[in-house]
Amino acid sequence: MTHSNGPARHGFVAALEPDYAVPPGETLRERLEELGMTQAELATRTGLTPKHINQVLQGVVPLSGEVAQRLELAVGIPARLWNRLEADYRTQQMRLAQDRAQAEDPEVAPWLASLPVAALAAEGAIPAHPADTASRVHQLLEFFGVANIAAWQEVWRKPAAAFRQSYAYEALPGALAAWLRMGELAARQETHGPFSSAGVRRLLPELVRLTRRSPAEALAVARRELAAVGVLVVLVPDVPGARAYGATRWLGPIALIQLSLRGKTEDVLWVTLFHELGHVLLHGRKGLFIEQDDADTPDGQPQVASGSDETITQEREAQQFALDTLFGETGLTRLNQVSTTTEALDLADELGIGAAIVASQLQARGVWAHAHGARHRRSLPSLEQLRNPAPAPRPRLSKQERGGGAPRRR
């Protein structure tokens, strides 16, 4: 298996940056005082003019690589240190100039207001402090992996805003973009094998059987097995305003499925996962697919909006793929013959799927009332428990199995 591209977070500034830039000339001035050397003497020793030395001290002219080499020989401080001081000085100058420009940019305030800053800080995606405007802008640009707000608009807002907006509760593009980015960063922490469409299809029967096991244990197995065939499944908490159950996209040659656990029941988890697998297997590598909810659907299932465009068609195909995979050739038809709890449990046993999935479909079809269906739909454990499930307890061995002799007669 191959490893992905590194950590999900990197080098966030955790303290206030100084609001001034220190030129390398300050260090040079201190060194001259230590040596008891005048500027004129340094000019003679380095072969530079006194004017040039004074301009370096003031930070007026850049301290070039050639000057750094001369200073190394004249004052005994390595050229690499002078080069580093010069680079730090110029970088800090640029940052301060950007901060001043951002303070005057009318787009900054509405951009910050459009993003779930508090939620990102609570999740550790950005630092909680410092929280001044300049620091927040820097943190968020680094989080999204873009150089400026204009780049963010192109890379993140446009795809998020262009996604289906026909729901009664419209998703907020900034929140949706933040949720998607969290998934992208989480994927970088995962290991995976090369993608294999045939490998994914071979796994489907096993994944269906997993729906009968405890969610934490089953999801851990599913994630491991799918990663081996090039499908990463990451769990990212719901971001207020994103309203997303799941999403599918491709990161280079690897398929990424992102789940929020919105809905909080095991049937929603499994139907969403199989729905996303439908996108992976049916719809190529260029699309971004996001499953959201609708205000008017009481059953807690991700919904397909009405319409006839390509996106809606693909969503319907993915949902049909999920149900066909879970229920097989005849299972959906046989739902029409089920009315009692016993019949529902018997059908789940026969099909080899979780009872909650049968219950949710009976509820969605209006066969069962919401309260009746809810009794058979178990809540999911916490996100942390799903991310890091406790190991299954080892069975207790008998004395004979432990090597302690024959079992006691009764």
Percent of the chain with pLDDT over 90: 53
User: Could you tell me if 243 and 195 are in contact, meaning their C-beta atoms sit under 8 angstroms apart?
Assistant: no
pLDDT above 70: residue 312: yes
pLDDT band at 357 (very low <50, low <70, confident <90, very high): very high
pLDDT value, residue 165: 42
* 160-185 pLDDT per residue, tens: 655 544 444 566 889 999 999 999 99
pLDDT above 60: residue 303: no
pLDDT above 50: residue 11: no
Which fold does the domain 24-104 belong to in CATH? 434 Repressor (Amino-terminal Domain) (1.10.260)
pLDDT value, residue 401: 44
Strands 191-192 and 254-259, bridge-based pairing = unpaired
pLDDT above 90: residue 354: yes
pLDDT value, residue 110: 93
pLDDT value, residue 383: 79
Where exactly are the structural domains of the chain? 24-104, 108-162, 173-387
Q: Please give the angle made by the CA atoms of 56, 61 and 65, to the nearest 5 degrees.
A: 80
User: Could you tell me if 52 and 38 are in contact, meaning their C-beta atoms sit under 8 angstroms apart?
Assistant: no
SS (H, E, C) the chain: CEECCCCCCCCCCCCCCCCCCCCHHHHHHHHHHHHCCCHHHHHHHHCCCHHHHHHHHHCCCCCCHHHHHHHHHHHCCCHHHHHHHHHHHHHHHHHHHHHHHHHHCCCHHHHHHCCCHHHHHHCCCCCCCCCCHHHHHHHHHHHHCCCCHHHHHHHHHHHHHHCCCCCCCCCCHHHHHHHHHHHHHHHCCCEECCCCHHHHHHHHHHHHHHCCCCHHHHHHHHHHHHHHCCEEEEECCCCCCCCEEEEEEEECCEEEEEECCCCCEHHHHHHHHHHHHHHHHHCCCCCCEEEECCCCCCCCCCCCCCCCCHHHHHHHHHHHHHHHHHHCCCHHHHHHHCCCHHHHHHHHHHHCCCHHHHHHHHHHCCCCCHHHHHCCCCECCCHHHHHCCCCCCCCCCCCCCCCCCCCCCC
pLDDT band at 97 (very low <50, low <70, confident <90, very high): confident
- Output the average pLDDT for the chain: 84
pLDDT value, residue 375: 79
pLDDT above 90: residue 195: yes
* 394-410 pLDDT per residue, tens: 545 444 444 544 444 43
Region of 171 please: left (phi>0), alpha (psi -120 to 50) or beta. beta
pLDDT above 70: residue 153: yes
The token duo for 79 is 């050229």
pLDDT value, residue 409: 44
pLDDT value, residue 162: 56
Helix axes 39-46, 50-58, angle to 10 degrees: 110
pLDDT band at 233 (very low <50, low <70, confident <90, very high): very high
Q: Which residues contact 402 (CB under 8 A, 6 or more apart)?
A: none
Q: Which residues contact 92 (CB under 8 A, 6 or more apart)?
A: 17, 18, 20, 21, 22
| Paired residues of 257 in beta bridges | 233, 248
* 248-270 pLDDT per residue, tens: 999 999 999 999 988 788 999 99
pLDDT band at 243 (very low <50, low <70, confident <90, very high): confident
pTM for the whole structure:
0.77
194 to 184, 227, 275, 286: CA distances (angstroms): 18, 9, 21, 18
pLDDT value, residue 161: 59
pLDDT value, residue 308: 44
